[in-house]
């Protein structure tokens, strides 16, 4: 039970108890008084009746007089059952129904006697030691029997035992009634208090739950009184808080998903060096997890010594910083780091915002581009220098010797052809890389197609006495760009012929197969194998790079540009396929091209 309810109930009970008690006391008292007054009046009337029936005898003989009064007293006692005492004006007892007057002391000092002497009637309540009871004494002065003046006093005595008993009963009933009333009052008070305090208790517990961020709670709104008003206000407050909280949460999740889906790593550092935010990309780029970082100091990022230094610099001198760092954990990467000092709100000290971007691929591409340009210039320089050199030699006299002139002009022709091929390949590669000309897919009858390729190269193969062998299943169709696929096979087969000594063999095999990694897909595998010189293991990973050649001189002599395989690789990828190589030096190589049967 709540304290408030207890207090309220107590107050009600106390108030009701006091009023009921006061009323009871008042009632009891007045009842007692009225009762005694009525009794007295009654006794006075009886005294008058008694006096009228047997008036005080005026006699000279005191003994006779006393005897007479004594007899009267006893008679009356028998009739009315009350003690009667006849007292002379001087206080001497002349007759008594219960005692012998001779043995009784003077009664002049008794209160009722005094009062009677003063005003004609008197009364008094005293405790009788003989009877062990409270007695009511009522006395009146009486005249003599012959119309003479005041002769004596008649006194009636009555035990108050019965009266008191009935009074006691009355008190008992009163107390019991009071008690009952009190109990009922207590119950009613409790209920009243309950009806007042219950809504308040509900609201208190609701407010407590709201303090614990449970804003879904509502209290019964009740009537139109102040308590109902308060309940409505509380509900409205909870509703508004709930709305605001959900908005805050929504904003939070929105922000979180923005941060998590960013391609940059974001790290926020408070002015004291504590990390306050660490997004998913930061986890990826810097290696440690959110749990390892947030709440800790940035100095605990031990794997990235340089980064820690940069952050320290940013904290000491809050100006924007931009730096590129190579990190080796969790793997080697080139990271672009932007440090922005930021003020969070109001008077909070500025912190740092770190935006981390992986620029490894971009830088590698840039490097490759510039390397390519350098390579192109270098590759072009050689034939140009040759053409220029031989032309100059011719002009400065060699022209006159027809033999020399012829051989020089042949070289010039070869070199310009080479130059032409080189430029053609470079243009082709740049066209493929920039995807300027999209592929035109169409169904290709592979056996027919491979037969045509073989025919185109047959003369070249025959020159080196190389056998060209094609194996395919009849009716094998493939969806591809015919010209591009031709380019691929031409390059592979030409390489086969080029890098295979005389009398060797170049074999082309085509077959259909089904992938079983994840979803099933029908693919075509075209293998171009030769019995040539092979490729050293260390060169295999680089074989598809532009201008990469295992043996420059050999490639040159065979008219290669070093671009063939990189064109092949690009084209295979444009067909959503792959190309790989397996080779053993001195035994031969096989290039394995795998393309989807149908283009997605
Ligand atoms: P190239 O014009 O020099 O042939 P490619 O890009 O076609 O250029 O080939 C790159 C290099 O790969 C070649 O210079 C050669 O060293 C090696 N190579 C390619 N095909 C074969 C093969 N069938 N056998 C041995 N080496 C090969």
Q: How far is the CA of 599 from the centre of ligand 1 (A)?
A: 28
Contact between 88 and 94 under an 8 Å Cβ cutoff? The reply is yes
Indicate if ligand 1 lies below 6 Å from the C-beta of 313: no
Tell which of 380, 411, 432 closes a domain. Answer: 432
Tens-digit pLDDT profile for residues 10-47: 888 888 888 888 888 888 888 888 888 888 999 999 98
Report pTM.
Answer: 0.53
Tens-digit pLDDT profile for residues 169-182: 888 888 888 888 88
Residue 204 in any domain: the answer is no
Indicate if ligand 1 lies below 6 Å from the C-beta of 499: yes
Helix axes 161-211 and 226-261, enclosed angle (nearest 10): 20
Residue 198 in any domain: the answer is no
Q: How far is the CA of 562 from the centre of ligand 1 (A)?
A: 7
The domain that holds 160 is classified in CATH as: 3.30.450.20
- Residues 78 and 117 reside in one and the same domain: yes
- Residues 447 and 590 reside in one and the same domain: yes
Please state which of the ranges 68-77, 155-164, 377-386, 504-513 shows the lowest mean pLDDT. 155-164
Tell which of 128, 145, 167 closes a domain. Answer: 167
Q: How far is the CA of 433 from the centre of ligand 1 (A)?
A: 20
- Residues 547 and 406 reside in one and the same domain: no
Residue 213 in any domain: the answer is no
Q: How far is the CA of 513 from the centre of ligand 1 (A)?
A: 27
- Domains in the chain: how many in total? 5
Q: Which atom of ligand 1 is nearest to the CA of 496?
A: 23
Indicate if ligand 1 lies below 6 Å from the C-beta of 565: yes
At 1 the pLDDT is 58
Residue 201 in any domain: the answer is no
- Which range marks the domain in which residue 291 is found? 262-358
- Residues 69 and 153 reside in one and the same domain: yes
Q: Is the pLDDT score of 344 beyond 70?
A: no
Contact between 505 and 528 under an 8 Å Cβ cutoff? The reply is no
SS3 percent helix, strand, coil of the chain, rounded to 5, is 55, 20, 25
Residue 506, CB half-sphere, CA atoms under 13 Å: how many? 29
Q: How far is the CA of 564 from the centre of ligand 1 (A)?
A: 8
DSSP label at residue 105: P
- Res. 223 pLDDT band, cuts 50 70 90: confident
Nearest CA to ligand 1 atom 2: 560
Ramachandran angles phi, psi of 374, nearest 5° = -60, -45
- Residues 228 and 300 reside in one and the same domain: no
- Residues 462 and 585 reside in one and the same domain: yes
Indicate if ligand 1 lies below 6 Å from the C-beta of 531: no
Close Cβ partners of 213 (under 8 Å, ≥ 6 residues apart):
245
Residue 538 in any domain: the answer is yes
The domain that holds 535 is classified in CATH as: 3.30.565.10
Pairwise CA distance, residues 141 & 121, whole Å: 7
Indicate if ligand 1 lies below 6 Å from the C-beta of 379: no
- Res. 582 pLDDT band, cuts 50 70 90: very high
Tens-digit pLDDT profile for residues 104-145: 889 888 899 999 889 989 999 888 777 788 888 999 998 877
Tens-digit pLDDT profile for residues 423-482: 999 998 888 888 888 889 999 999 999 999 999 999 999 999 999 999 998 889 999 999
If one residue of 372, 375, 495 were mutated to test the ligand 1 pocket, choosing by the most ligand atoms within 8 A of its CB, it would be: 495
Indicate if ligand 1 lies below 6 Å from the C-beta of 85: no
Tell which of 230, 257, 284 closes a domain. Answer: 257
Ramachandran angles phi, psi of 15, nearest 5° = -60, -50
Tens-digit pLDDT profile for residues 523-536: 999 999 999 999 99
If one residue of 543, 554, 593 were mutated to test the ligand 1 pocket, choosing by the most ligand atoms within 8 A of its CB, it would be: 543
- Residues 426 and 443 reside in one and the same domain: no
Q: Which atom of ligand 1 is nearest to the CA of 562?
A: 8
Q: For residue 349, what are the CA distances in angstroms to 188, 271, 339, 373?
A: 62, 6, 16, 50
Residue 197 in any domain: the answer is no
- Residues 410 and 463 reside in one and the same domain: no
Q: For residue 39, what are the CA distances in angstroms to 110, 158, 210, 515?
A: 20, 10, 73, 127
- Residues 460 and 486 reside in one and the same domain: yes
Nearest CA to ligand 1 atom 7: 564
Residue 176 in any domain: the answer is no
- Residues 71 and 87 reside in one and the same domain: yes
Q: How far is the CA of 537 from the centre of ligand 1 (A)?
A: 13
- Residues 56 and 96 reside in one and the same domain: yes
Average pLDDT value for residue range 260-271: 91
- Residues 161 and 303 reside in one and the same domain: no
Using omega within 30 degrees of 0 as the cis cutoff, is the peptide bond preceding 330 cis? yes
CA-based nearest residue to 556, from 445, 439, 421, 424: 421
């Amino acid at each position: 039970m709540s304290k408030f309810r207890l207090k309220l109930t107590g107050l009600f009970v106390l108030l009701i108890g006091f009023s009921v008690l006061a009323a009871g006391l008042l009632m009891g008292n007045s009842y007692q008084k009225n009762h005694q007054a009525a009794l007295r009046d009654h006794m006075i009337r009886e005294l008058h009746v008694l006096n009228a029936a047997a008036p005080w005898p005026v006699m000279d003989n005191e003994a006779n007089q006393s005897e007479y009064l004594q007899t009267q007293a006893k008679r009356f006692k028998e009739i009315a059952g009350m003690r009667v005492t006849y007292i002379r004006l001087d206080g001497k007892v002349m007759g008594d129904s219960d005692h012998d007057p001779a043995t009784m002391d003077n009664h002049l000092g008794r209160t009722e006697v005094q009062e009677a002497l003063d005003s004609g009637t008197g009364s008094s309540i005293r405790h009788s030691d003989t009877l062990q009871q409270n007695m009511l004494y009522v006395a009146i002065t009486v005249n003599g029997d012959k119309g003479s003046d005041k002769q004596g006093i008649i006194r009636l005595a009555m035990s108050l035992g019965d009266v008191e008993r009935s009074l006691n009963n009355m008190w008992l009933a009163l107390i019991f009634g009071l008690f009952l009333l009190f109990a009922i009052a207590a119950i009613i008070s409790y209920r009243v208090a309950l009806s007042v305090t219950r809504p308040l208790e509900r609201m208190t517990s609701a407010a407590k739950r709201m303090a614990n961020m449970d804003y879904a709670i509502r209290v019964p709104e009740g009537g139109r009184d102040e308590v109902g008003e308060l309940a409505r206000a509380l509900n409205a407050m909870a509703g508004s808080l709930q709305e605001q909280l959900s908005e805050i949460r929504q904003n939070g999740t929105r922000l979180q998903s923005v941060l998590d889906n960013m391609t940059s790593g974001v790290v926020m550092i408070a002015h004291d060096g504590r990390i306050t935010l660490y997004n998913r990309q930061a986890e990826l780029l810097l290696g440690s997890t959110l749990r390892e970082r947030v709440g800790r100091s940035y100095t605990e990022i031990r794997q990235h010594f340089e980064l820690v230094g940069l952050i320290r610099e940013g904290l000491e001198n809050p100006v924007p910083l931009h730096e590129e760092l190579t990190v080796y954990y969790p793997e080697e990467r080139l990271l672009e780091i932007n440090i922005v000092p930021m003020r969070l709100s109001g008077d909070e000290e500025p912190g740092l915002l770190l935006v981390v971007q992986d620029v490894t691929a971009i830088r590698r591409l840039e490097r490759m581009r510039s390397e390519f340009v350098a390579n192109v210039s270098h590759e072009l320089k050689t034939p140009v220098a040759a053409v220029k050199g031989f032309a100059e030699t011719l002009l400065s006299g060699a022209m006159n010797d027809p033999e020399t002139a012829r051989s020089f002009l042949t070289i010039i022709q070869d070199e310009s052809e080479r130059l032409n091929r080189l430029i053609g390949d470079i243009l082709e590669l740049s066209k493929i890389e920039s995807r300027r000309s999209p592929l035109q897919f169409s169904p290709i009858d592979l056996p027919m197609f491979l037969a045509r390729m073989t025919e185109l190269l047959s003369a070249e193969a025959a020159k080196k006495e190389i056998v060209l062998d094609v194996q395919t299943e009849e009716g094998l169709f493939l969806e591809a760009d015919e010209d591009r696929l031709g380019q691929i096979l031409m390059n592979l087969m030409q390489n086969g012929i080029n890098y295979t000594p005389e009398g060797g063999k170049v074999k082309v095999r085509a077959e259909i197969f089904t992938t079983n990694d994840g979803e099933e897909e029908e693919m075509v595998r075209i293998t171009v194998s030769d019995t040539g010189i092979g490729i050293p293991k260390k060169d295999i990973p680089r074989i598809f790079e532009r201008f990469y050649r295992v043996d420059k001189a050999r490639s040159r002599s065979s008219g290669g540009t070093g671009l063939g395989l990189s064109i092949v690789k690009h084209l295979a990828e444009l067909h959503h396929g792959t190309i790989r190589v397996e080779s053993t030096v001195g035994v031969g190589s096989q290039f394995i091209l795998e393309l989807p049967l149908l283009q997605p």
